[in-house]
Amino acid sequence: MADDEWRRKRDDAVAKHAAAAARARAAETEQARALVAEFTAEANRRSLPPQKLTALAYNGRSRYRTGLRGWYVHPDRSLAVGVDGEFYVLGVPASLRSRLLGAQLRPQDPMLIIGKGAKDGESISLRELLHRRLAANEATR
């Protein structure tokens, strides 16, 4: 009986922890979406011209059309904000279909810290990345 009670308490604790983590992720996503919306509004206000977005194959050898327009926000062109106000990760598997028809991308949930937990240790806040993109446009005028 003690084992059953211990398992129940453990399962309850795990469920509570998972629920708290999900709430934290949802709150972070909401904040990041607000930053992306602010960026989109500011880019439009400044008449920052959107570009045709391309996706890079994971192997790094091929770029594919996407049918999307927006602004690259990471210097390596791996992240973008579309004119639709959505956040896109521009990495895709290499494929003949993508080469012929273009890559199909879906909007992703933006994160407040880009590169968080990456092995190279390079991370940057989404706010700073979007600010740099707007500042780069001002520098070219």
pLDDT at 93: 92
Q: What are phi and psi of 47, to 5 degrees?
A: 60, 40
**4-44 pLDDT, tens digit each:** 888 888 988 888 888 888 888 888 999 999 999 999 999 99
What are the residue ranges spanned by the domains of the chain?
2-139
- What is the chain's mean pLDDT, rounded? 89
* 8 A C-beta contact, residue 71 and residue 52: no
Place of tokens 């996706």: 55
DSSP assignment letter at 119:
T
**43-95 pLDDT, tens digit each:** 999 999 999 999 999 988 899 999 999 999 998 899 999 999 999 999 999 98
Place of tokens 């607000």: 34
pLDDT at 139: 55
Prediction pTM value: 0.83
